[in-house]
Structures are given as C-alpha cells and as structure tokens.
C-alpha cells in the first residue's frame, strides 16, 4: 500500500509515479478485464465484470473468466443475463491463488483431529494468481451475449489523505486529496468505473433497510447520517498501487482562527439505539480542561460530498516558497459527516481553560427516557475576549434530542456530535448549559 506520508507528499509536490492511468491509457495489465464497475467499501470491494460470450447454433457456450484471487465459483453471481441461462459453474485450478500449502497440525496450536490441517490466512495485500471460473451458458438462440460477473473481494484496499495549504495571511486554505488503492487481485481492470462508499458494506446496506422501514412501516428514521457514494471516474486500475486525485482545481476556502474546547472526544461514543445507562459514564474520570488554538475552514458541502475519511495536514507556504506544517487532524469522519466546517488544532491556548460539569442525571425506566444536564465553563485570563467552539459528544447512544441549550449558536456535526459557540469576556468566565434526552 502507498504509505500515508508518501500520499500526503504527493499531494504537495505533484502527481506520484504510481498514479492511476486515466481513461484512454494503455491496458492495465495483460489479460485484464475491461469495462468493470468497482465499489470500494471499508472492508472489501464489490466487483462487477462485463463479459461477452458467443453462443453457437447448438445454443450452448462456454467461457472462462479471470476473477480475483481466492474467489470460488459458488461465490460468483451472474446479473444482466440478457436471455442467458447458467447451466454450470466450475472453479478451474487452485482457487487459493498460490497460497502456501496447509500447515500440518503438530504444534501447540494443532487440532486434536490428526487428519485436520491448519491453513494460513491469506494476506489480503500479498500478490497472488487470479482464479479462473468456467461458465457453461445456454440461450434460446445463437449470437453474442453480454453479462456481468459479480463478486466481493478483500484484495482491493485503499487509504485517503488530504492537505490544506494556506498563505502567511492565514485567511484562505486550498484543500487537496488523493486515494491510494492497492489491487492485489492478480488481475488488472481496464477502463473500470470506480466509486467509493466510506463504510463497511453491512452498515451501508443497513442504512438502506432503515430508510425502507421508515417509509413503509412508519418507523422513526435513524439519525446517523448515511454514507454517500462518491464517483471517482473511469481508470485503468493496475495490479499493485495506484493513486487517484480526489480534489482537483478546488477554490480556496475561508479560514479563520478559533479556540476549541473538546473535553471528551469520540472515544466514548456508544453506537447503539438504546443509551448506555451507567451513571459514571463520561464523568469519571473528570473531563480535561485543555483548550486548543485551531483553524476553522469552511466546508464546501457540494464539492466534498461522499469524500472518504482520512488524515489532513495544514501547511503554510512561506514567502520563500517553502512549506511548514501548522497542524494535523482528520477530515470527513462519521462524527463530523454533516459539519459545515473543519477544524485543525495547531497548539495549546495559553490563558484559556475549560470545565465540564454534570448537573443532573435522571433515568426514567418506565418512560424510557434518560435526561442529562451539563454546564460548560470557559475561563479566559487573556486581556481580550475570545470566541470558543464547544464540541460536545452525546456518547450514550444515537437516539437523542437536544432539549435545551443556552448558547446563541448550536449545530449538529454528526450522529453524536454537536458544537456550541460562546464568547468569553476578557479576564472573565462564560457558561453554557445544555440538556440532552435519550430515548429507547
């Protein structure tokens, strides 16, 4: 896999040598498959390969299809058959793609059954030979037919990374991104239509089921923002590493300095529908009081829709053309999927501290309601007022309602994250109170 450091460096200095070939380039590899569609998920990829078969007058034809290493005939399903009937499907040769032979069970981990053997788990990034599937197809008449062979594979993996580049004025930032794709299927995909959906496939399909249940059965919709597919375009996905630009020629975005108080972070987020009801959850040990100097960059909601999550470096271009790293963060995580801004911390805010206190916790099992009240205090010892973004995580569960908040501005940034804003006076304190209600 292309390392994240190399991926970020390529974003700064220009195209990398492993860049994916654009549409119209030479074939990706000998024997590659043309016209495929590939959807990249977090846990694996779904591949749809287009295949042509000539059916002779006898109305029966045979075709061999090279698919990803490790895929067996019973794991392949045929769609868009166009009048074809699949009569037989066979795996030709070794479907393991050349994995080492099984290890005899004579060690401490050996099975009790002497006839049982242990097979080493395949490394999803180790290059292996592809599998060949033989299909016997029938049709009502002779001719050339097109159909699609679909399967899932763990042998296509990816990472995304971003850079934000600003000037010494620090009032605008240009966002760039790239995705590094590792193809260890054993075949190249020529002229493949690529899309990415930043979620595990089961979670993504679960969102579809939730929307259907909400529409047909009147069930309450999930508050978790559904992942949006991002079309990457048509490329020759070579065997090995490729790099694809995600944001080209984007306009500079407004950037400004803010202070951020994020006392909890996402580490406690409980993703279930029913809230986690432990009374000490989130208050013991006490929340930290650290406030960070940060930069807030306005998000282009349209241009960034469906972009995969990944690390970002905020870089400053100096007068001599050199670049300096100001800070690092992550972009487009689930926690901030619907945020209108991105924030990058760059240091500790001297003279400004925060405190988070729980004032009330009421757990009403009969009404199936858990109510929690918090007060956030910002202590500003600076000789001028400061604006602070309070980032709170409603970590007990995903079925919540913000019943009350005293801040003049509040925004939902993700399924369990909100931001509240206040201005702390010079040499003084400012408080925000909010009440959250969880139901189940």
pLDDT in tens, 345-380: 999 999 999 999 999 999 999 999 999 999 999 999
**pLDDT computed for residue 409 by the predictor:** 81
Mean pLDDT of the chain: 85
**pLDDT computed for residue 7 by the predictor:** 59
CA–chain centroid gap for 24, Å, is 29
Three-state DSSP class for residue 71: coil
Of the residues 128, 153, 178, the one at which a domain ends: 153
| CATH number, residue 347 | 2.60.40.290
Q: Are residues 295 and 435 in the same domain?
A: yes
DSSP 270-306: --SSSPP--TTTTTSSPPP-EEEEEEEEE--TTTTTT
**pLDDT computed for residue 84 by the predictor:** 87
164 within some domain? no
Using an 8 Å Cβ cutoff, are 36 and 120 in contact? no
Q: How many domains does the chain have?
A: 2
- Residue 211: CA atoms inside 13 Å, Cβ hemisphere, count? 10
**pLDDT computed for residue 26 by the predictor:** 35
227 within some domain? no
CA–chain centroid gap for 142, Å, is 45
**Of 406, 385, 410, which Cα lies nearest the Cα of 258?**
385
217 within some domain? no
pLDDT in tens, 206-216: 545 555 555 55
Q: Are residues 144 and 259 in the same domain?
A: no
What is the domain extent for residue 96? 45-153
Count other Cβ atoms within 10 Å, centred on residue 45: 24
**pLDDT computed for residue 270 by the predictor:** 92
Q: How far apart are CA 74 and CA 153, in angstroms?
A: 13
**Of 16, 6, 30, which Cα lies nearest the Cα of 242?**
16
185 within some domain? no
The encoded tokens of residue 286 equal 């006490």
Bridge partners (DSSP) listed for residue 15: none
Rounded-to-10 torsion of CA 129, 130, 134, 137: -170
Q: Are residues 126 and 273 in the same domain?
A: no
**pLDDT computed for residue 57 by the predictor:** 82
Of the residues 102, 132, 153, the one at which a domain ends: 153
19 within some domain? no
Averaged pLDDT, groups of 10, the chain, 440 residues long: 52 44 37 78 94 85 92 89 85 64 49 48 70 91 90 96 96 97 94 95 63 56 74 94 92 96 94 92 93 96 94 96 96 92 96 97 96 98 97 95 92 94 96 97
Q: Is the pTM of this model over 0.95?
A: no
Of the residues 99, 129, 153, the one at which a domain ends: 153
Q: Are residues 382 and 274 in the same domain?
A: yes
329 within some domain? no
């Amino acid at each position: 896999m292309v390392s994240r450091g190399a991926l970020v460096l390529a974003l700064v200095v220009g195209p990398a040598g492993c860049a994916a070939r654009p549409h119209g380039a030479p074939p990706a590899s000998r024997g590659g498959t043309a016209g495929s569609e590939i959807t990249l998920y977090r846990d694996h990829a779904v591949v749809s390969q287009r295949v042509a078969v000539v059916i002779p007058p006898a109305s029966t034809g045979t075709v061999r299809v090279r698919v990803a290493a490790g895929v067996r005939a019973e794991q392949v399903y045929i769609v868009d058959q166009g009048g074809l009937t699949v009569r037989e499907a066979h795996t030709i040769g070794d479907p393991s793609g050349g994995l080492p032979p099984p290890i005899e069970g004579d060690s401490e981990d050996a099975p009790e059954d002497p006839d049982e053997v242990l097979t080493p788990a395949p490394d999803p990034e180790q290059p292996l030979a592809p599998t060949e599937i033989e299909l016997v197809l029938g049709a009502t008449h002779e001719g050339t037919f097109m159909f699609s062979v679909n399967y899932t594979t763990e042998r296509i993996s990816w990472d995304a990374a971003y850079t934000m580049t600003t000037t010494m004025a620090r009032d605008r930032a240009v966002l760039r991104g790239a995705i590094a794709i590792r193809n260890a299927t054993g075949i190249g995909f020529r002229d493949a239509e690529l899309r990415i959906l930043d979620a595990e496939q089961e979670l993504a399909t679960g969102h579809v089921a939730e929307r259907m249940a909400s529409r047909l059965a009147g069930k309450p919709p999930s508050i978790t923002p559904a992942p949006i597919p991002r079309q990457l375009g048509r490329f020759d996905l070579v065997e090995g590493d490729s790099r694809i630009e995600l944001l080209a020629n984007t306009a500079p975005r407004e950037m400004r300095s803010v202070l951020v108080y994020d006392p909890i972070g996402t580490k406690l987020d409980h993703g279930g529908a029913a809230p986690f009801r432990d009374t000490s959850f989130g208050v013991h040990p006490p929340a930290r009081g650290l406030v960070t100097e940060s930069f807030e960059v306005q998000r282009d909601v349209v241009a960034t829709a469906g972009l995969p999550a990944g690390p970002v470096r905020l870089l400053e271009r100096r007068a001599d053309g050199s670049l300096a790293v100001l800070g690092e963060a992550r972009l487009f995580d689930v926690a901030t999927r619907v945020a209108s801004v991105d924030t990058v911390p760059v240091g500790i805010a001297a003279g400004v501290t925060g405190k988070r206190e729980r004032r009330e916790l009421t757990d009403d099992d009969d009404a199936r309601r858990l109510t929690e009240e918090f007060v956030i205090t910002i202590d500003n010892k600076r000789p001028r007022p400061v604006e602070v973004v309070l980032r709170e995580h409603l970590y007990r569960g995903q079925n919540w309602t913000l019943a009350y908040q005293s801040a003049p501005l509040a925004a939902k940034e993700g399924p369990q994250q909100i931001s509240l804003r206040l201005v702390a006076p010079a040499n003084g304190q400012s408080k925000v109170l909010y009440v959250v209600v969880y139901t189940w």
